[in-house]
Amino acid sequence: MILTDTEILKEIEEGNIVVEPFRQDCLGTNSYDVHLGRYLCTYKDRVLDAKKHNPIQEIIIHPEEGFLLQPGTLYLGVTEEYTETHRHVPFLEGKSSIGRLGIIIHATAGKGDVGFCNTWTLEISCIQPVRVYAGMPIGQLIYFDVKGNIDNLYYKKVNAKYTNRTIKPVESMMWKNKF
């Protein structure tokens, strides 16, 4: 079941959902709008290796001119908002206005885990060149109820790789897995 605006507010008041900074005008009927942070990253190498750490290069989006995304490049972006979810499954979806510009904000990782506490790294790609700006609405968080007790919250997992609080995008940590 998806939480409505009144249920999201109730869960925020009870501390089960945290959004920093919280803005009432970003609360939709059944979602919360998140915004593009000022940092983007790209991988330094064109060929990536899942078994190795792939270094990234940081890009700062200039407030007035924005940044021009190019097709064929994966950009790692970040939300301005830090979030925590302690009793719900958060899903990050692109806003329809972003989709209509040909921007895709996540390649595969739209679902968060219960217990995820951080900003969201975005896996941004585009269909055609498009200029983006820090602070623009980029996505919306939708919260789902879970059934049953949770024994393994994300931030308590021994092998959780994305728990260090950050305001910058985080590159893939696949190389830390054993395979």
Active-site positions read: 123
**Cα gap 38→59, rounded to integer Å:** 8
**Cα gap 26→39, rounded to integer Å:** 21
Q: Classify 170 as helix, strand or coil.
A: coil
Which region holds residue 5: left if phi is over 0, alpha if psi is between -120 and 50, else beta? alpha
Is residue 130 packed enough to be buried (19+ CB in 10 Å), middle (13-18) or exposed (0-12)? middle
DSSP annotation of 150: -
Residues paired with residue 138 on neighbouring β-strands, in sequence order:
none
Residue 5 structure tokens: 């605006």
Amino acid at 110: G
DSSP annotation of 120: P
